[in-house]
Amino acid sequence: MNKNQYVAIMAGGVGSRFWPASREATPKQFLDITGSGSSLLQQTVSRLKSLVPIENVYIVSNLIYADQILEQLPMLTEDQLLLEPSRNNTAPCVAYTALHLNAKNPDAVFAVLPADHIIKKEETFVAAMQKGFDKATKEDAIVTLGISPTRPDTGYGYIDFDATSEENDIFKVNSFKEKPSLAVAQQYLEQGGYVWNAGIFIWSCKTILNNFSKTARQITDVLCKDISKYATSHEQDYINEVYPLTDKISVDYAILEHADNVFTIPVDIGWSDLGTWNSLYSYMDKDENNNVTLTPHSQVQESSGNLIRVQNKEKLIVVKGLEDYIIIDEDDVLLIYPRNDEQEIKQLRSSLKDKRFE
């Protein structure tokens, strides 16, 4: 394995749309959402083992999750945690990672990917990632994995690429598109040359820092007030001081939408972005009545299209006469909510928190 290759896993989100299972103290990336026996974060690290040395895997997260990360990933050291004192979106997260790795290894090329995705075709994923690493190592290139769309989905951003620019299955990106309407998404599928933006990026430290200097200079100006602190025992105190002063903006808006050196690798890797209960429902196997039941003890009658998840695996759940509901049973909260209204859950959580329920 190439020791100049690194992976940074972003694991600092709250996962509010997975409430009540996902909480501020223990968000979804630390949960076994799928019933596989491993958390989403553990699954993400596991699929990287043939891509980069384990010592080149970094977790970028919030300070409050440090103990949970090391508990779930005992093979990592504290030095492999990049801990943010505030949630400032993904652009500062990427810039911080680049500055840290650049201080350790100026030849570093690193991938950034979320901690909460499911990838079934891991060998295909690893091969595509290596192709991206090779491209980003040899050229001044930003490479992204683009998910070949299987349906006109309105929940994802899209990447418009030049289908005539193929070189080793890598294509030049024309532009990034916001989440479209259903009609526009259907048009993208019919037209071709569009992939879903999965938020998986590969670049060298030199390339991404150069792009920050062009289009998001405020962030690197703040983080570079004293670059001698990076990769030292003083880094955390320094980051605690300067990081909250950075602009709160996504790397998509800050960098990717302005860059002219972006490429995509269209792939079918059995990908699922587990962002909502409905996305989990779509991913999981169904029974003969299209119910997903994530509990060993249940009796479901005259019901269809439901997602049932129970924290206490010894509890018996009995359901009759429900159609298209989310049923989530935690120790202190029972949620029974129409699946068609799941977009309200994030706001529901916020309103309950305002009322001091959480």
Question: What pLDDT score was predicted for residue 125?
Answer: 96
Average pLDDT value for residue range 89-103: 97
- Judged against a pLDDT cut of 90, whether residue 35 lies above it is answered with no
Q: Model confidence over 260-304: pLDDT tens digits?
A: 999 999 999 999 888 889 989 988 999 999 999 999 899 999 999
Question: What pLDDT score was predicted for residue 247?
Answer: 96
Res. 358 pLDDT band, cuts 50 70 90: low
CATH class of the domain defined by 5-273: alpha beta
Average pLDDT value for residue range 304-316: 93
Question: What pLDDT score was predicted for residue 166?
Answer: 84
Provide the percentage of residues in the chain whose pLDDT is more than 70.
100
- Judged against a pLDDT cut of 80, whether residue 237 lies above it is answered with yes
| Mean per-residue pLDDT over the chain, rounded | 94
Among 97-106, 172-181, 264-273, 342-351, which is the least confidently predicted range?
342-351
Res. 16 pLDDT band, cuts 50 70 90: confident
Among 152-156, 180-184, 281-285, which is the least confidently predicted range?
152-156
Question: What pLDDT score was predicted for residue 313?
Answer: 86
Res. 88 pLDDT band, cuts 50 70 90: very high
Question: What pLDDT score was predicted for residue 97?
Answer: 98
Q: Model confidence over 210-233: pLDDT tens digits?
A: 999 999 999 999 999 999 999 999
Residue-range domain boundaries for the chain: 5-273, 280-354
3-state SS of the chain is: CCCCEEEEEECCCCCHHHCCCCCCCCCHHHCCCCCCCCCHHHHHHHCCCCCCCHHHEEEEEEHHHHHHHHHHCCCCCHHHEEEECCCCCHHHHHHHHHHHHHHHCCCCEEEEEECCEEECCHHHHHHHHHHHHHHHHHCCCEEEEEECCCCCCCCCCEEEECCCCCECCEEEEEEEECCCCHHHHHHHHHHCCEEEEEEEEEEEHHHHHHHHHHHCHHHHHHHCCCHHHCCCCCHHHHHHHHHHHCCCCCHHHHHHCCCCCEEEEEECCCEEECCCHHHHHHHCCCCCCCCEEECCCEEEECCECCEEEECCCCCCEEEECCECEEEEECCCCEEEEEHHHHHHHHHHHHHHHHCCCC
- Judged against a pLDDT cut of 80, whether residue 357 lies above it is answered with no
Res. 258 pLDDT band, cuts 50 70 90: very high
